[in-house]
Structure formats: C-alpha cells, structure tokens
Chains A and B, each alone.
Chain A
Amino acid sequence: MTHAVRVENLRVTLNGKPVLKGVNLSVPEGSVTVVLGPSGVGKSTLLRTINRLIDLIPGARVEGRVEVLGMDAYATDPYELRRRVGMVFQTPNPFPHLSIYGNVALAAKVSGAAKSKRELSRIVEWALRKAMLWDEVKGRLNDPPTRLSGGQQQRLCLARALAMRPKVLLLDEPTANIDVSNTKLIEDALRGLVRELGMTVILVTHMPDQALRVGDYVAVMYDGKVVEFGRSDEVSSNPKHPFTRNVFAGKLA
C-alpha cells in the first residue's frame, strides 16, 4: 500500500508553546483518513503542516519530516506542493469579489489545471458536479457567492479546491457549522471522490460518528500526538488506547 502523506516525528511549537509533540502518521493513498480528536489537540495545525499553510504563522516552528506524494514538503517549492493539495476550511470562505463561476475558475487558472477558456468551463462544471453543487447553481453561475446558503458556500469551497485536480484533499472540520442535509451531501461527495478518482482525503473532525460514517481509516489524536491508527471499524470496536476507548464509548452506547 502506498502512502500519499507520511508524517514522521513532527513537532510544532506556536510562539514557544508546543502544539504537536511528535506526530507519526502514514495516510494510505486513495482512501478517507479521519483525524479525530477534541478541540485544541492540534488537528488543524497538523493539517496546515501538510500544505505548508503554517508558513503563514510568524511564531511557528516546525521540526520533523512531512512527506507528501513522495516529496519532502519542506524542501520543495510550497506553490508546487499546494497545487497538488486542496483544502477546505472550517468556515466557508468564498472570494466575495468573484462570482460562483469565478471562484472555481480562479483555482483552475492559478494552479495551471486549465490551459484554455474551453477547458476552464469544463473543469468548473466538473468540480461543481463533484462537489454536489452543480444542479443548484448551474442557472446562476454569475451570481456572487453571498447569495448562497452556508452549506452551499462550503460546497462551493469544495468545488474550488477540486478545480486544481489535487491528488490530496484536506478538510478542516468542514461540516462543523453546516446543517445536516449539507453535511450529508459533502460526505457523499468525499466518498465519491475516493471511489471514482482515487483521491486521498484527510478530514479533521471532533465528531466520532462522522469519523465512522466517512472514514476508511481513523487516526485518534490526544495531547499533540496520534495515539491510535487503523481501519475505522477496527479502531471503534477494539480500541487499544484508553483515550480512544473514551471517544468511542459515547458512540457505541
């Protein structure tokens, strides 16, 4: 089995405060891996080391090795890395000055995934379909994203990430602020991406039931480390680490 992302002994301090204290994680290619843990444990920080968004934080220090698609993430050009790794954030953040079409198109243009105008509209439609949003917006592609509901905006952000044709997709608690029906749509979309395109999806959440619904693999995080990793059905039914037991105890009432 190949691993799309490999994290070895990753330590991250933010302004002197240690957040990740030696994370080891190997994410299998072509699957959904859920990173599960309570708030503040470092899940978002871990995600941001994979696409080097952590470079944005001035007080951040990163030690250890992060390997993405065979490349050392911290030895490559970050822009090359980021065009292969899409990201969806916790709060939807569509660009307010661009239309629905424009939001998705920008990602395709900037990452170089689209070479011509015709190709561009093909990719935009493809991305919106894969994000389960096409039917709802196909008649109003020139509308500003503010006219969409929160759940629709989040699917738009998913489409935007997909327009880069990434091999890896990172999602930081994408359904935390979304209603149930939109959550289901996004989770269906993710499973479709893995099944049809062999994409590697890494989803961060604090909800154990979401981990079991969506995840092929689960990595449980506690106190800045990954304390348990395995297939989701095994981890939930036979948890080895005491923390994991607590996490799934509520689930398996």
Chain B
Amino acid sequence: MEVDYGVSASKVINWFVAGITCLVTVLGLMPYALIVTSTVERGVKAIATVGILKFLTALPPSPGTKGLGGVGPSLLGTLALTALSTLMGVPLAFALAMLVTEFPHNIVSRSLRALVKGLLELPTILAGMVVYSLVVIPMGTPSIFAGALALTVVMLPYVTTYFETYLGSVPKIYREAGYAIGLSKAGVALRVVVPIAKKGLIVGVLVGVSRALGETAPLLFTLGAARYYYPTSITGPGDSVSLLIYNFAMMPYPNLRAVAWGAALVLLASYLIVSLAVQLCVRGVEA
C-alpha cells in the first residue's frame, strides 16, 4: 500500500494563493488610504489658511477670489438637519422596533418589518424627489425641514434595524420576570427591556446620526443650497456641508474647491469620530 504522495505541488500552490490574495488585499486597501490622505492633506492645507475656528464659522468666499472663508452656515445647517432628523426618526424607529419585537408573530408587524426593510433599497435621490413633491412644492420653498424629512426617510430603516436587533436580543426570561411581578406589556417594554438594551439603543442613534451627516442626495432638491448667510428658520432654505462639497466640487474655481476639501475633512473627521463611538459601544454591548 506504499503510495508516493508527490507533495510539493500543493505546497507551492498554497504559497501562490497566499501571495496573490495578500497582494490583492493590499492593493484593494490602497484606495482607502489614498482617499483619507488626500482629504487630510488638502483639507488641512485649506483650513490652515484661515484657521480652524474661522473655517467653521465664516461665510464661504465668492467664486474666483483669493480668500477662502469658511463653511459656517453649512455647518449649522448640517447640525440642524442632523438634530431635526434624529428627533423625528429615532422615536419613530423605536416605536416600529418595539412593535416588531413585542408582537413578532402578528401579520401587521411582519409586513411592517418588510416595508421598513424595503426602504433600505429606496435610491436616496428618490427620497428627495418624494419630499420635493409633497413638501417643497406646497410650501413654495426648499427648507431645512424638508431636508430633515428626506433624511429621516433614509435613516429610518438603518436605525430601526439596529433597535430591532438590540431590543430583540433581550432574553425572554427578563420579559417573563416583568410580567410575573405584574407589569403590563407596556410596562415590561419600557421598564425592563429598554434599560437592558440601553447601550444598543445608543448605537442605533449614533448610526442614525452618521447617516444624517453624510447623505447628500436627499438634500439636492429639498434644502436649497443657501450657504452665503446664516439660516434663521427651519422653514426656510439652508445648506449642509455635504451639499456644499457637492456644488463646489464641480466649480472651476480653485478657492471654492479648496473650501470643498476643508469641508470634506470636517465631514471625514466627524464621521470617524461617530464610527469610533459606535465601535466602542458595540464592543461594550457584546462584552
């Protein structure tokens, strides 16, 4: 039964596969490194010419001038949009997630779950188009409110899914214990399940925030790109950092493009901070 195994072929193939997959992985990761370094390099250069405080508060420059100005109104707009859409979206997502986790076998809640998941596939530009036709046209003007509404539509499925996961992962025994001491269904939900799932709920909110920060397409037709003055009302036009970058990127003026890079760095930094917070919270939840 002596067999000659002719081994070395498989060893060589293994090294070859290891090498190729390593190479492709490194090459595949390079663009992300490039993007981050480009943004940091050009963004720092732009912000450094006016100083970070001025960049965050001043008005953008006129096209073709030498100065750089800042992104003040757009930053305020982003903050307002994020706050408003979180305010509208989180309670809604929470209610929907509670409905799905407390009544998992109900046909209504199951179809609702499918509908909310379906929103994930809605092209974000369509969300903007819908809000444009339903809100902007009757109001007669684009507005921060309309923009926030469009953002809420986009972030809702993400936040709901996270809430659902964390609320659903609370073991049944806790719920049963709550019923056993005489709490109603609502009581159990609010006083037993929520406190246990607290960290996960925070993750969900952060995910919603990071979505709202970064989205641009829903704002294209709903916000108004009013970036040369500070907005005073949410029923009037506004701007967001992401929209500013979108418009300035296409301009042939170098100073506007520099502002775009600075704004992109601000956006990148905010996104990374929120992401880091999410990762830390998730690590904490799983612990």
Contact = CB atoms under 8 A, between A and B. Distances in A.
Q: Are both chains from one complex?
A: yes
B10 A112 contact: yes
Contacts of A111: 5
A227 interface: no
B1 interface: yes
Interface string B1-23: 10101110111000000000000
B3 A80 contact: no
Contacts of B3: 112-113, 165
A80 B7 contact: yes
Contacts of A113: 3, 5
Contacts of B11: 79
B4 to A, nearest CB: 8
B5 A112 contact: yes
Contacts of A165: 1, 3
A197 B1 contact: yes
A115 B6 contact: yes
B7 A110 contact: no
Interface in A69-99: 79-80, 83
A198 B5 CA distance: 19
- Give the secondary structure class of A's interface: helix
B1 A112 contact: no
B5 A110 contact: no
A80 B11 CA distance: 10
A83 B1 CA distance: 14
Interface string A223-249: 000000000000000000000000000
Residues of B contacting A: mostly:
loop
A115 B9 CA distance: 12
Contacts of B10: 79, 110, 112
A56 B129 CA distance: 54
A48 to B, nearest CB: 22
Contacts of B7: 79-80, 112
A112 B11 CA distance: 12
A79, A197, A198 pick with most chain B CB within 10 angstroms: A79
Interface in A139-168: 165
A190 B109 CA distance: 57
A139 to B, nearest CB: 28
A119 B7 CA distance: 17
Nearest to A112: B5
Nearest to A114: B3
- Counting chain A CB atoms within 10 Å of each CB, which of B3, B5, B10 scores highest? B3
B10 to A, nearest CB: 7
Interface in A193-218: 197-198
Contacts of A112: 3, 5-7, 9-10
Contacts of A198: 1
Contacts of B9: 112
Contacts of B5: 83, 111-113
Nearest to A115: B6
A234 to B, nearest CB: 30
A138 to B, nearest CB: 23
A198 B2 CA distance: 12
A197 B1 CA distance: 8
A79 B9 CA distance: 13
A86 to B, nearest CB: 13
A183 to B, nearest CB: 26
Interface string B102-123: 0000000000000000000000
B1 to A, nearest CB: 6
A83 B6 CA distance: 12
Task: List 4 tightest A-B contacts by C-beta distance, closest first.
Answer: A112-B5, A165-B3, A112-B6, A113-B3
Given A111-B5, A112-B7, 18 more contacts: A79-B7, A79-B10, A79-B11, A80-B7, A83-B5, A110-B10, A112-B3, A112-B5, A112-B6, A112-B9, A112-B10, A113-B3, A113-B5, A115-B6, A165-B1, A165-B3, A197-B1, A198-B1
11 contacts: A79-B7, A79-B11, A80-B7, A110-B10, A112-B5, A112-B6, A112-B7, A112-B9, A113-B5, A165-B1, A165-B3
